[in-house]
Structure 1
Amino acid sequence: MEINNLVWIVLLLLILVLLVRVTSLQRQLNELKRDVERLENGSTAIASPRSDFNYTLSPKEESPSHTSPPGHTDLDQELIALVQKGNKIVAIKRLREARGLSLKEAKDYVDSLHR
């Protein structure tokens, strides 16, 4: 009877881990959809051969303002707000979690938003 309970617990934990992973993948998919929409609307981004993204912003996106520019996603606005509050490291961490970027790529992206 204890082995059955252990099997159920392991199964439930596995389901929980899978649900968390699916949620994370869904969030990444939504971010990618926004990026594709932004690309279709005229912004530029270059995909590197490693399948990670190196983002370059169009000139109108490089100067963040307090109003929401058409090319900025919700995540971009959140990152800009964090940087303006002096939480650049938190912004980089948030971007890495959301998009799975390397530390350098996330830092470069946050720096480009900050300019």
Structure 2
Amino acid sequence: AAQAVIKAYQGGGYSEGNLQAYRSYLEESFVLRDMKLYRNFPKFLETTPRVFSDYPKLLEGIMADMFVMDGEPTPALMKIMMKHLNKVGVLKIARDAWKGVRAL
């Protein structure tokens, strides 16, 4: 964006024609490609509240169970994970994951 403004300034002002370089710079960079690639992801985040509520708690619980020091051996990772995954629901998690992948 700054390059386009500088070029427009050097070209004599900020007319539509002089600012046309902005569009060119965007098209040449990763910006428009990324915006197109992730265009549906905000809607996924808006319609999947578990991303902000249940999943952080799920990960926190898994980490806490993995690293707690209570004098007992740590259970197998799969056992720890399933304990927490079942609280949210494996089917819900799979559905949200599929929905998230499709949003990309």
Same fold by TM-score greater than 0.5: no
* TM-score normalised by the chain length of structure 2: 0.30
Larger radius of gyration: 2
